[in-house]
């Protein structure tokens, strides 16, 4: 195991595997309710950090590996589209994205014990001590342009099951690709983990995918 991944997303695990990294999965609950007047960038950054801290708090053994968490949101006109709770919401989201450009934001947060501390940390210690832990974040923005999507296409797409657990009700790595005309920026960022920026962040925490 190279690092901890505080995520239930199979995509994030697969994207780390693409770099040759083997994550140990950590499960922790995080409240993902947006705060009033919070910008999308502030929101994903706060949630990625909260996921990382919640994951770290579950570790009971001496922690010798960094922990990574991330949050992805689809943003249209400054509104955050999360995962659709039902068909109606998915159809609304796809109608909003249809024939338009939107932005996908992913924030990545990485925590590791600093040299000399490295042992056991009380839950929440990272939020307060600032001494025992190194905490780094990155926020990545990708622009995605979609062709017009008809209501019948959106219905058929919902029926495929793919939109259910995806921010913005589509998956660029799946059938959703038939709607995606162009991408400007990181592709892996849209799937849930920007690999270029993540590799750089992990290097700061002593993990080098090229080190074998
Ligand atoms: C836009 C888009 C999103 N997604 C996914 C990535 C994320 O898994 C999901 C956004 O939800 P997130 O809340 O970022 O992640 P998650 O709940 O799936 O996993 P966890 O919080 O446990 O890490 O949408 C795609 O897979 N493809 C896409 O094209």
Test site for ligand 1: of 165, 168, 173, most ligand atoms within 8 A of the Cβ = 165
Mean pLDDT, the chain, integer: 92
Query: pLDDT tens-digit profile of 88-102?
Result: 999 999 999 999 999
pTM of full prediction above 0.95: no
The CB density around residue 78, as the number of other CB atoms within 10 Å, is 9
Share of the chain above pLDDT 70, in %: 92
Note the pLDDT of residue 64.
81
- CATH number for the 3-211 domain, one of 3.90.950.10, 3.40.50.10470, 3.40.710.10, 3.30.300.30? 3.90.950.10
pLDDT at 84 over 70: yes
Return the HEC string of the chain: CCEEECCCCHHHHHHHHHCCCCEEECCCCCCCCCCCCCCHHHHHHHHHHHHHHHHHHCCCCCCCCCEEEEEEEEEECCEEECCCCCHHHHHHHHHHHCCCEEEEEEEEEEEEECCCCCCCCCCCHHHHCCCCEEEEEEEEEEEEEECCCCHHHHHHHHHCCHHHHCHHHCCCCCHHHHHEEEEECCHHHHHCCCHHHHHHHHHHCCCCHHHC
How far is Cα 91 from Cα 168, in angstroms, rounded to an integer?
10
pLDDT, tens digit, 9 for 90 and up, residues 48-78: 999 999 999 999 877 789 999 999 999 999 9
The ipTM assigned to this model is 0.97
| Residue 116 clears pLDDT 70, i.e. is over it | no
How far apart, in whole angstroms, are the C-alpha atoms of residue 151 and residue 140?
31
Pick the residue whose CA is nearest to atom 21 on ligand 1. 7
Q: For residues 123 and 132, is the Cβ–Cβ distance under 8 A?
A: no
CA–CA separation, 49 and 108 (whole Å) = 8
Q: Which of 6, 7, 9, 84 gets mutated to test ligand 1 (max ligand atoms within 8 A of its CB)?
A: 9
């Amino acid at each position: 195991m190279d690092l901890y991944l505080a995520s239930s997303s199979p995509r994030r695990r697969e994207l780390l595997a693409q770099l040759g990294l083997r994550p140990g999965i950590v499960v922790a609950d995080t409240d993902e309710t947006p705060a009033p007047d919070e910008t999308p960038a502030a929101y994903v950054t706060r949630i990625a950090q909260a996921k990382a801290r919640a994951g770290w708090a579950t570790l009971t053994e001496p922690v010798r590996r960094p922990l990574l968490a991330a949050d992805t949101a689809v943003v249209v006109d400054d509104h955050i589209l999360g995962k659709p709770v039902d068909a109606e919401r998915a159809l609304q989201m796809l109608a909003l994205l249809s024939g338009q450009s939107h932005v996908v934001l992913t924030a990545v947060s990485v925590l590791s014990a600093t040299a000399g501390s490295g042992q056991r940390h009380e839950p929440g210690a990272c939020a307060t001590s600032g001494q025992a832990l190194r905490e780094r974040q990155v926020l990545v923005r990708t622009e995605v342009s979609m062709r017009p999507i008809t209501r019948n296409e959106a219905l058929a797409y919902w029926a495929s099951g793919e939109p259910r657990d995806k921010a913005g009700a589509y998956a660029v790595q799946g059938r959703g690709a038939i709607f995606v005309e162009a991408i400007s920026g990181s592709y892996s960022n849209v799937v849930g983990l920007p690999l270029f920026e993540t590799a750089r962040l992990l290097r700061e925490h002593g993990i080098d995918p090229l080190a074998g």
